[in-house]
Amino acid sequence: MHLNPVTLRFSGPLTHLESLFQKDYLEQSIPHIRLVLILATILYAIFGILDFLLVPGQKYLFWTIRYAVVCPALILTAIVLRFQSVQKMIQPILSGLIVISGSGIIAMILIAPPPINYSYYAGLILAFMFGYTFVRAQFIWASLGAWCLVILYEVAAIGIAKTPVPILINNNFFFISANLIGMLACYFIELYARRDFYLVHLLADEREKVQVANLDLEQRVRLRTNELEAANQELAQEIKERKHAEAERTRLADQLKQAEKMEAVGSMAAGVAHDLNNILSGLVSYPDLLLLDLTDESPLRQPILTIKKSGEKAAAMVQDLLALARRGVTHKEVVNPNDLISDYLGSPEFASLEQQHPHVRFTVDLAVDLLNVLVSPVHLLKAMMNLTSNAAEALLVKGDVEIKTRNRSLDQSINRHEAIAAGDYITIQVYDSGVGIAEQDLERIFEPFYTKKQLGRSGTGLGMTVVWSTIKDADGYIDVESREGYGTTFTLYLPVNRQPAMATESPVLFENLHGTERVLVVDDLAEQREIAKAMLGKLGYFVTAVPSGEAALDYLKENEADIVVLDMIMAPGMDGCETYRRILEQRPQQKAVIASGFSESKRVREAQRIGAGAYIKKPYTLEKIALAVREALDG
């Protein structure tokens, strides 16, 4: 313990404890000091009886010292100790009280004649005892007050009372001895008080360390308990997973089979689309040529129209397969879904649906302020047709089908049938009050070729897959809410597009699509070359056809062509994009349009980037190829 040997103050690494000790010592001393001051006052007053017995002639002077000076000073100090400002100065005040009370006794010693005054020397020794021990004055302040009394006595005894030297030596022996003994007692009292405080401080530090250790131990126990609980939960989960292992293996096998089916269908769609569309060209394109040569009264007109519509339906089925494989042509436009829904509600298809289901009540609630979206209009219209048709077929008895559109803003993502990200959307809801979808079927409704329709009803199992592909191509989401026996609601979430909707194109007069320019048709299939030559020739163009890109380059070395109609996929040899790039090296201003039975691929867009005009999807009609060629030439 580091203490100053004279002042007893904490020093060195314990200096910071001094202010804490003084505060603690003061708090413990105040009640004791107040009690001791009252006791000292009582004793000092009681000794007034001694004045009455020993010095009756001078008793009033002695009582004045006792009751008018010393006792009031003691009582006043005890009273004002309740104030903090006085408490902070208590040590020098106690030192002063020692001097005051001892000075009163010294005055009585000087006033009383010998040998009577010898009786008062004991009172001075009592003052030393109270100052050093009972009153809890600290060593420095108690010593200062006591030695002041010794000095005052020496001055009074020598200078005023003329005390004989033998008596003075005798008295000093007792006073100084009593003073030294009192100092020693006070020194050790304060030393032990400081030691006890230091030990309490060390104990508090150790308790704090123990508390910290206990908290750390509790934390470790809690952590270990959590680990054990987690381990138990993992064990329980593992047991649960093992119990369902066989079912999970079956589910994974089904998923693998489904993935293989999707891959097979996708590969099939990608592989046969080009050839199938080329085959369908005869059913779609030639009827246009035949109809131009027939009068309105011809009996062949209706059968040829039926052939054309059948070819167009077959081409639409090819597009469904491409949509299934997410490889179809996606031409997006900024549209307002309300317009598409209104067009559908006024279409012959919807009228036919109402006739087939007279027990169904159709209601429509379209938001008047509905925002626009960027989507493939054809595919969104087909998605609405599929959803509405499915809703009507879900009603075996009288019921309702409701179509509703709304604007909706999501501040945060929501988890429904799938996780829907935050953002601004328009929603299209199709609700039916029908039988609902069984829970085991709800997760499979978007799978290709998965259908619960009965024999005799429409459906190929691709309808909901087309809906899913359409919404995903538009970066949207689908939510499904259904309870068996309570109906079903499909909600389509499509991201809002702030651009204005594209204006509806004005009908083009067929007479304005004729021309007399020179056209070079490049296609690897002879039947396709013949169809293109026949169509463009019917429009008045001078048409030449070649079977490959290499042949086209050779032809253009010697001949001119105002426009080239390029097939995108040609085998073997160069494709349409590479052929057009090579043509531009010879003829930088050469105009061209692209035709393909597959899809609007990266190669198509690359050809358009370097200068090609419109893309024509096979099988093309007379109007489509005429419009594409005319726009490219006029542009």
Are residues 519 and 403 both part of a single domain?
no
pLDDT in tens, 12-31: 888 888 888 888 888 888 88
Q: Contact 619/597 with Cβ under 8 angstroms?
A: yes
Are residues 399 and 477 both part of a single domain?
yes
Who contacts 591 (Cβ-Cβ below 8 Å, separation ≥6)? Answer: 562, 563, 564, 611, 613, 632, 633, 635
Structural domain includes residue 235 = no
Are residues 81 and 202 both part of a single domain?
yes
Return the minimum-mean-pLDDT range out of 218-227, 273-282, 348-357, 600-609. 273-282
Are residues 471 and 532 both part of a single domain?
no
Q: In the Cβ-directed half-sphere of 374, how many Cα atoms lie within 13 Å?
A: 10
- Interatomic CA distance for residues 590 and 563, integer angstroms: 7
pLDDT of residue 456: 41
Q: Per-residue pLDDT for 613 more than 60?
A: yes
Are residues 439 and 542 both part of a single domain?
no
- Interatomic CA distance for residues 476 and 479, integer angstroms: 10
Q: Where does 411-459 show beta strands of DSSP type E?
A: 414-415, 419-420, 423-432
Q: Contact 565/618 with Cβ under 8 angstroms?
A: no
pLDDT of residue 283: 63
DSSP state of 500: P
Return the minimum-mean-pLDDT range out of 158-172, 225-239, 319-333. 319-333
Structural domain includes residue 346 = yes
Orientation of helix 121-129 relative to helix 90-111, angle to 10° = 170
Are residues 413 and 553 both part of a single domain?
no
Domain closes at, from 191, 209, 227: 209
Q: Per-residue pLDDT for 614 more than 60?
A: yes
Q: Per-residue pLDDT for 121 more than 90?
A: no
Per the prediction, the chain carries an average pLDDT of 82
Instruction: Name the residue with higher pLDDT: 159 or 258.
Output: 159
Structural domain includes residue 294 = no
Q: Per-residue pLDDT for 584 more than 60?
A: yes
Q: Per-residue pLDDT for 428 more than 90?
A: yes
pLDDT of residue 341: 92
Q: Per-residue pLDDT for 323 more than 60?
A: no
pLDDT grade for 291, boundaries at 50, 70 and 90: low
Return the minimum-mean-pLDDT range out of 3-12, 80-89, 199-208, 458-467. 458-467
- Interatomic CA distance for residues 138 and 87, integer angstroms: 14
The total domain count for the chain is 3
- Interatomic CA distance for residues 624 and 508, integer angstroms: 11
Q: Per-residue pLDDT for 137 more than 80?
A: yes
Structural domain includes residue 253 = no
Structural domain includes residue 119 = yes
Whose structure tokens read 């290499």?
Answer: 550
Instruction: Name the residue with higher pLDDT: 84 or 271.
Output: 84
Whose structure tokens read 């068996």?
Answer: 484
Are residues 535 and 441 both part of a single domain?
no
pLDDT of residue 274: 54
Are residues 554 and 488 both part of a single domain?
no
pLDDT in tens, 506-540: 555 556 778 889 999 998 888 888 888 888 888 89
Domain closes at, from 209, 232, 257: 209
Q: Contact 445/465 with Cβ under 8 angstroms?
A: no
CATH code for position 533: 3.40.50.2300
Are residues 493 and 514 both part of a single domain?
no
Coil, strand or helix at 102:
helix
CATH code for position 360: 3.30.565.10
Burial of 607 (0-12, 13-18, 19+ CB in 10 A): buried
Q: Per-residue pLDDT for 155 more than 80?
A: yes
Structural domain includes residue 361 = yes
Please state the pTM of the whole predicted model. Answer: 0.48
Are residues 604 and 630 both part of a single domain?
yes
Domain closes at, from 209, 233, 252: 209
pLDDT of residue 365: 93
pLDDT of residue 506: 52
H-assigned helices in 112-244: 121-129, 139-155, 165-243
Share above pLDDT 90 across residues of the chain, in percent, rounded to a whole number:
15
Q: Per-residue pLDDT for 262 more than 60?
A: no
Structural domain includes residue 258 = no
Are residues 96 and 195 both part of a single domain?
yes
Residue 439: name the closest of 383, 385, 486, 390 by CA.
Answer: 486
Q: Contact 335/375 with Cβ under 8 angstroms?
A: yes
Structural domain includes residue 78 = yes
pLDDT grade for 277, boundaries at 50, 70 and 90: low
DSSP state of 397: S
Are residues 130 and 69 both part of a single domain?
yes
Instruction: Name the residue with higher pLDDT: 457 or 68.
Output: 68
pLDDT grade for 2, boundaries at 50, 70 and 90: confident
Domain that holds residue 18: 12-209
Instruction: Name the residue with higher pLDDT: 39 or 439.
Output: 39
